[in-house]
Structure 1
Amino acid sequence: MSRSSKAVVSFIVGAAVGVAVGYFLNSDKKDELVDKLKYQADKLKEKFRAKKQQYEDAIENELT
């Protein structure tokens, strides 16, 4: 594929993603999506905190 055709495909994909995001953010489901994303982010943060604590405890046990 040539450079110009890659650029055209990239532009089309970017435009499609932009339209989809714009449509979704203006729809009634926006609040539901934001709540789901916040919930998933909080779960992920809690998993990272638990792993961090686990590693800190393991390191502390090894040093003592």
Structure 2
Amino acid sequence: MSTSSKAVVSFIVGAAVGVAVGYFLNSDKKDELVEKLKDQTDKLKDKWRKRKDQFQDELENELA
């Protein structure tokens, strides 16, 4: 792929991302989506925290 065609593809992708972000920011469902993302993030944090604690306990038991 030549340099000019890469530039055109990059421009098109950038424009598409810009349109999507603009649509999202003006969407009525923005707050609902952000809240869902926060909930999912909290669930993932809890899940990883539990796995970390479990791993620490197992490691301490092996070293004891």
The TM-score with structure 2 as length reference comes to: 0.91
Answer yes or no: is 1:41 the counterpart of 2:38: no
**Alpha-carbon distance between aligned partners in 1 of 2:24 and 2:51, rounded to the nearest angstrom:** 34
The TM-score with structure 1 as length reference comes to: 0.91
Cα deviation for residue 15 of structure 1 reads: 1.2
| CA deviation string 1:10-54 (max 9, x = no partner) | 111111111111111111010011011101111111111011011
CA RMSD of aligned residues (A): 0.9
**Alpha-carbon distance between aligned partners in 1 of 2:54 and 2:3, rounded to the nearest angstrom:** 49
Structure 2: give runs of 5+ residues left out of the alignment. Answer: none
* Identical counterparts, % of pairs: 78
**Moved segments of 4+, more than 3 Å:** none
**Alpha-carbon distance between aligned partners in 2 of 1:58 and 1:4, rounded to the nearest angstrom:** 56
Written as runs of structure 1 = structure 2, the 5 A alignment for 1:2-41 is: 2-41=2-41
Structure 1: give runs of 5+ residues left out of the alignment. Answer: none
